[in-house]
Every structure is written in structure tokens, then in C-alpha cells.
């Protein structure tokens, strides 16, 4: 049943943090992640007519983002083949082997933890989408960005008491949302 609506004017506010966290762990470069997200938004705009409303907007954008990340790795892999690098080994037995064979494996012992942490991060962001906009913004500034109470109060023109009430409500909602799978 097609029930989900699409509204590109809200994509950045609603999904940019989610898309960014999804991308940064896969490309590990902030500028590159920004470029890929930018391409994702533009590709989304161009294919808006294909949005059937069966998936959520975020799921649909993530499917585009995944393809953009794959495209990026295909591009750099095809460039790699053009510049072959060999090294001189000291012993004859290994002579002619590729340098890459001796590169350390980036998927170290804690790869599983990294994947779990990424999944956890996305779960937190999904739960944050359930918060009212102002509550989510204030929680994010205070908890993720570590901005001090006074600065946030000035920006939103609220008292510290108001801020703590907002933070409390946000934390209760988030704890309830995460409790089933993560507590």
C-alpha cells in the first residue's frame, strides 16, 4: 500500500545526519561523504517520479545512497588497475608478488564491534526521528555535539529549566525506543 509521501524540501533536515553517518563509516572521508550525499539528493530529485510510496523516504534515499557508494568504489577500483605498483622483494621467493598482498587487513578483530556500533548509531538516529523537531534538535546539540547549556538556551530563547525538561522528555522517549533491542 503506497502511503509514504515524498518531500525533498525536508530531506536535509530529516535525513542528512542519518545519511552522513551511514556514509562516513563506509568511505571514511568527510568531504567525500558530503559529495556522495550531494549526488544522492540530486539523483533522488531526478528519480522522484519512481518513488512509489511503498518504502519510507529514508529507505528510498538509502537505496540510492548505497548505489552511489558502490559507484564510488567501482570508480576507484577501475583507476587502480591503470597504475600497477610492484616492489622489489629482498628474497627471490616472493619476487613479483603484489604489494597489496602484504597490506594489513583493515577488517581487524574488532570489525564486528564496529558493525554493531554503526548499527547502534543508525538505531539511535531512527529513534530520534520520533522526537518532535525542537526536542530532537536540542537533544542533538546537547548530547551529540556537546554544546553547552547556555549557548543552546540563547539560541532557542529558553531557560535552563526548559532545556532540562526538553532533554528529559527526549531521553525518556529514546530510552523506551532503544530498550527492546539495545538495553
Q: How far apart are CA 107 and CA 91, in angstroms?
A: 28
168 binds other proteins (CB under 8 A): yes
Give the span between the Cα atoms of 170 and 140, in whole angstroms: 10
How many Å apart are CA 85 and CA 144, to the nearest integer? Answer: 42
Cβ-count burial of 125 within 10 angstroms (0-12 exposed, 13-18 middle, 19+ buried)? Answer: buried
- Residue 12 binds other proteins (CB under 8 A): yes
The site that binds other proteins (CB under 8 A) totals a number of residues, namely: 45
Q: How many CB atoms lie within 10 A of CB 40?
A: 23
Among 8, 28, 86, 111, binds other proteins (CB under 8 A): 8
Q: Residue 1 CB, nearest distance to other proteins (Å)?
A: 16
62 near other proteins (CB under 8 A) = no
Choice from 28, 29, 46, 73 touching other proteins (CB under 8 A) = 46
Q: By CB under 8 A, is residue 115 in contact with other proteins? A: no
131 binds other proteins (CB under 8 A): no
Asked if 89 touches other proteins (CB under 8 A), the answer is: no
What DSSP line would sit under 6-38, residue for residue? Answer: --GGGHHHHHHHHHHHHHHHHH--HHHHHHHHH
Q: Which of 38, 63, 94, 162 binds other proteins (CB under 8 A)?
A: 38
Give the C-alpha separation, 51 to 172, whole Å. Answer: 34
Q: Interface with other proteins by CB under 8 A: which residues?
A: 5-9, 11-13, 16-17, 20-21, 24, 34, 37-38, 41-42, 45-46, 48-49, 51, 117, 120-121, 124-125, 140, 142-145, 149, 164-165, 167-168, 171, 174-175, 178-179, 182-183
Amino acid at each position: 500500500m503506497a502511503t509514504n509521501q515524498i518531500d525533498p524540501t525536508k530531506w536535509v533536515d530529516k535525513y542528512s545526519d542519518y545519511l552522513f553517518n551511514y556514509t562516513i563509516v563506509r568511505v571514511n572521508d568527510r568531504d567525500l561523504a558530503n559529495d556522495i550525499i550531494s549526488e544522492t539528493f540530486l539523483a533522488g530529485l531526478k528519480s522522484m517520479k519512481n518513488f512509489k510510496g511503498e518504502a519510507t523516504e529514508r529507505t528510498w534515499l538509502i537505496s540510492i545512497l548505497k548505489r552511489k557508494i558502490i559507484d564510488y568504489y567501482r570508480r576507484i577500483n577501475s583507476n587502480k588497475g591503470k597504475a600497477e605498483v610492484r616492489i622489489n622483494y629482498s628474497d627471490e621467493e616472493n619476487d613479483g608478488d603484489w604489494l597489496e598482498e602484504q597490506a594489513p587487513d583493515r577488517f581487524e578483530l574488532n570489525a564486528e564491534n564496529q558493525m554493531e556500533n554503526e548499527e547502534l548509531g543508525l538505531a539511535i538516529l531512527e529513534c530520534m526521528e520520533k522526537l518532535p523537531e525542537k526536542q530532537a534538535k536540542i537533544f542533538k546539540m546537547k548530547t551529540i555535539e556537546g554544546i553547552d547549556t547556555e549557548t543552546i538556551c540563547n539560541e532557542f530563547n529558553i531557560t535552563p529549566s526548559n532545556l532540562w525538561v526538553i532533554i528529559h522528555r527526549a531521553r525518556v522517549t529514546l530510552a523506551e525506543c532503544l530498550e527492546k533491542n539495545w538495553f
